[in-house]
Amino acid sequence: MSGPSLADEVLSVLPAILADKPLGATVAEVVIWLGVQPGFVREAFLDLDTAGRAKAVRRKGGRTLYLVPFDAAIMSCRNCYREFERPKKSRRQCCSRSCGIAWSWKNGDTRARRSEGIRAERATPQAKARAAAFNKRRWSRPGERERLAEQNRERWSDPVMRAKLSVGIQRANGTQERRKYYSDLRRRQWAEDEEYRTKTLAGMSAAKERMSEAMKRRWADPEYREKMSQIAVQRAAERRRAKRDAAARGSAA
């Protein structure tokens, strides 16, 4: 990948913003300058901070994240980016003990060493046997599967939890840049590579064919049809209940 990263661009407009806003550049400010989505700018702030090229800091009493030069005379907690005071001789990097612990987990080396330790422990035959026995017990308990499914549904219906889980999934899916790289690559291949195009199209129609065959087979089975119609009835009831609950919440507020 070539060209300046968003972090580079943010850094290049920082002096101009600081001339106007001595407290530092906010995400909103940079969005106006660069016309990029706030989420990306925020990520760039944190990247610059991690790389030591600038400091991301939340001023005392505020939640706004500012970007300031890396040599600004301000201590920003490595974990929560809150501003904090540090005694002269202290080398503390975090605002509190709990942030210190959280940060040491995030911190590459320490985290790698700890995870390595945990992984090694989990890989022992004893640990594997323990985990297998635990899973077996768990799945043989009546209602366990349903309980876990229910728990999952509940977690996803909570907006805060959903946001957290989505962030985790997005991280797992790779960074924006990586996703863009692959989508560009696919688009290029599609445009330039005749063989790739033919293969992809063939693959797509074969998959479609297989799916419709499987569908036909399944729907030919009366038991399957019966099950599906039951599920449809249940879903409709759930939707009605959700609507009723929402209406009740609305009238209570």
Of 46, 72, 80, 165, the one binding Zn ion (CB under 5 A) is 80
Among 30, 44, 68, 99, binds Zn ion (CB under 5 A): 99
Nearer of residues 26 and 79 to Zn ion, judged by Cβ: 79
Say whether residue 79 binds Zn ion (CB under 5 A): yes
Residue 253 CB, nearest distance to Zn ion (Å)?
35
Residues in the chain: 253
Q: Six-digit token pair at 134?
A: 């635990």
Closer residue to Zn ion, CB minimum distance, 40 or 103: 103
If one asks whether residue 95 binds Zn ion (CB under 5 A), the answer comes out as yes
* Residue 7: how many other CB atoms lie within 10 Å: 21
**Eight-state DSSP code of residue 170:** H
- List C-alpha distances in Å: 7 to 3, 177, 182: 11, 12, 20
- Nearer Cβ to Zn ion, position 41 or 95? 95
Per-residue contact string for residues 146-185; x = within reach of Zn ion by CB under 5 A = ----------------------------------------
From first CA to last CA, the distance across the chain in angstroms is: 51
- Segment contacting Zn ion by CB under 5 A, of 49-57, 94-102, 165-173, 182-190: 94-102
d(CA 247, CA 87) in angstroms, rounded, equals 55
Distance (Å, whole) CA 218 – CA 61: 61
Would residue 90 be called left, alpha or beta, if left means φ above 0 and alpha means ψ between -120 and 50 degrees?
Answer: beta
Closer residue to Zn ion (CB): 31 or 92: 92
Q: Which is nearer to Zn ion, 93 or 200 (CB)?
A: 93
Rg (alpha carbons) of the chain, rounded to whole number: 26
Closest CA to 65 of 38, 99, 105: 38
Q: How big is the site for Zn ion, counted in residues (CB under 5 A)? A: 5
Task: Report in angstroms how near the CB of residue 79 gets to Zn ion at its nearest.
Answer: 5
- Nearer residue to Zn ion within complex by CB, 46 or 80: 80
Residue type, 230: Q
Only segment of 46-54, 93-101, 172-180, 218-226 that touches Zn ion (CB under 5 A):
93-101
CB of 97 to Zn ion, least distance (A): 10
For Zn ion, the closer of residues 6 and 77 by Cβ is 77
CA 252 to centroid of chain Cα atoms: 34
Residue 196's nearest CA partner among 180, 185, 209, 181 is: 185
Position 158: which residue type?
Answer: D
Contact flag: residue 77 with Zn ion (CB under 5 A):
yes
Binding site for Zn ion (CB under 5 A): 77, 79-80, 95, 99
